[in-house]
Amino acid sequence: MSHRFSIPPRILPRRGRAPSKPGAPTGQVQSLTRGLSILEALARSGSGLTLTDVAHRVQLPPSTTHRLLATLEKMGYVHQAGDLGLWFIGLQAFAVGTTFLANRDFVAESHAYMHRLMEQAGETANLAILDGTEAVFVAQVQCHEMMRTLVKLGSRVPLHASGVGKALFAALPDAQVDAILKVKGLPRITENTIVAMETMWAALRVIRQRGYSFDDEEHARSTRCVGAAIYDEHAEPLGAISIAGPSARLSDERVRHLGKIVAHLAEELTLHLGGRWPHPF
């Protein structure tokens, strides 16, 4: 994502009041705001920045930028390296970030999104994680319908024949998909289960392109499911959410509509969890 920066017009201060400065919104500590802006600029660059580059990106004088970098360097949040004197994110910033990841409660953080998905779709919402060559259900929000599709938490479903499974399957690298297929194959579960390798690869390409999976009674008769993967900070699958219901309520047209809803919510949840959505696929 690109960011555009513009220098605000100069505003003459009123008598008795200090002039406002860029980068310090009302109620914020100016030096802290500037320091965090520098960290964000370095994090976005990836390949390091010179002092001049940093100053330009955060719209500060080089002298001010250098003082802030020196302070951050003493605390371990940035470091300078290379013949060109490039600045990089430091180990302390990494330590703080990994603490957030370690404390992240994936299931608890997902519950509000699952409830919203259930309300928008009118069908039961599920959350699953990848465990080896299978998907495991870890949470569920039941819909209000008398006839609804339920799963037992902790139960497992195959990757090739379920909504959450196919969403996770498509999110894996081709080499890992190929390895799983060689080990597990494509066992038939219902008459609709995909059992041909070329058909499965074609289905995974479609899922990657549109952002959601579709289980058309491939795991259970009279049940349809739409799912989408949730990604971690490395753009690797953290889990998958889905909605499931009776085939009689999930027409082809409704599946296409719900697919977009599930994919959008999965992207929202990915960003909320600090993950990175691998779009375009």
Query: pLDDT by residue (tens digit) across 131-190?
Result: 889 999 989 999 988 888 888 888 889 999 999 999 999 999 999 999 999 999 999 999
| Structure tokens given for 28 | 């914020």
Averaged pLDDT, 214-238:
94
Q: Kindly report the length of the chain.
A: 281
How far is residue 98 from each of residues 27, 41, 91, 92, 271, measured CA to CA in Å? 28, 19, 11, 10, 16
pLDDT of residue 163: 95
Asked if pLDDT for residue 217 goes beyond 50, the answer is yes
Q: For the chain, give every domain's residue range.
A: 30-100, 104-272
Q: With contact defined as beta carbons under 8 Å apart, do 162 and 225 qualify? A: yes
What is 104-272's CATH superfamily? GAF domain (3.30.450.40)
Cβ(170)–Cβ(132) under 8 Å? no
Lowest-confidence range among 65-79, 100-114, 116-130? 100-114
Average pLDDT over residues 186-204: 96
Query: Quick one: pLDDT band at residue 231, thresholds 50, 70, 90?
Result: very high
- What proportion of the chain, given as a percentage, has pLDDT over 90? 63
> What is residue 268's predicted lDDT score, i.e. its pLDDT?
95
**CA triplet 31, 34, 37: central angle to 5 degrees?**
150
Residue with tokens 């409660």: 105
Average pLDDT over residues 9-20: 40
Task: Find the angle CA(217)-CA(229)-CA(159) to the nearest 5 degrees.
Answer: 45
Looking at 59-132, list the stretches that DSSP marks H as alpha helix, in order from N- to C-terminal side: 62-74, 91-103, 106-121
Query: What is the pTM (predicted TM-score) of this model?
Result: 0.65
Tell me phi and psi for residue 68, to 5 degrees: -65, -40
User: CATH number of the domain at 30-100, out of 1.10.510.10, 2.40.170.20, 1.10.10.10, 3.20.10.10?
Assistant: 1.10.10.10
pLDDT above 90 (res 239):
yes
